[in-house]
Amino acid sequence: MTEEIQQRITDFLTKIENDVIIRYRLLVSRVLTEIDCAISQKPIGLSEELHPLLDEGALWVAGTEIKKDVDILLKRRDKLIDPLRPNVGKIAGIIAYRLGKMQIMHLRNQCVVCREYCIGRLNTTLALQCALEYAGIDFEKVPDDIRLELHYVFLYRHMNQEALGLVFDALFSTMPRKELLPTAEC
């Protein structure tokens, strides 16, 4: 591998890490204004006393782990894939897995005693949305039954980044996509 290609891959990995962290923060703002609190009857993001906490350290660790996993994917596949055009579905699987397993969002005390499960799946929702956006797929356009199944298997079944990558590959090949983001290619 030439020095130029290695530099492009290094830049690509850094872009993924930064892009995921920025995208996640933007999604948090949007998603929290879409979920109504069962107690206050207003969006969680607009209620200071109920607003969940974003763990910046956990988000940073997830970004670092995503970068490492994608680097390993590129090295492991070596000549099987073009290192300058890595598989978008596999990268989306890595993004979803690392963000979803890290537990980046935490609840405040008022949410813990609530009997509603309005934000119980928040970490999973944000992880899946972030991964789908990376792949250029609009989360809202994914059929409800597929979104529910994604949540279910992610929360209650063993799903690693490889299995999620296969799911995202299937979605990527069948769903209408937005223009791919700059980090989708080296």
pLDDT at 156: 85
Q: Tell me if 158 is assigned to some domain.
A: yes
Q: What is the pLDDT of residue 153?
A: 85
Q: In total, how many domains does the chain have?
A: 1
pLDDT at 169: 86
Is 185 domain-assigned?
no
Taking the alpha carbons at both ends of the chain, their separation in whole angstroms is 14
In a domain, 36, yes or no: yes
Helix and strand numbers, DSSP H then E, in the chain: 7, 2
Answer yes or no: is 186 within a domain: no
Measured between alpha carbons, how far is 151 from 126 in angstroms, rounded to an integer? 11
- Count CB neighbours of 75 within 10 A: 11
Q: Determine, yes or no, domain membership for 184.
A: no
Judge whether 134 lies within some domain: yes
CB burial class (10 A; 0-12, 13-18, 19+) of residue 148? exposed
Range of the domain at 22: 3-176
Tokens of 163: 């299995």
183 occurs within a structural domain: no
CA distance 164 to 1: 29
Per-residue pLDDT of the chain (186 residues; tens, 9 = 90+): 678 777 877 888 888 888 888 888 888 888 877 777 777 777 776 666 666 778 889 999 999 999 999 888 887 766 655 655 678 888 999 999 999 888 888 776 666 677 666 665 788 889 999 998 888 888 888 899 988 888 888 888 888 888 888 888 888 888 777 765 555 555
Confirm whether 28 is domain-assigned: yes
pLDDT of residue 85: 63
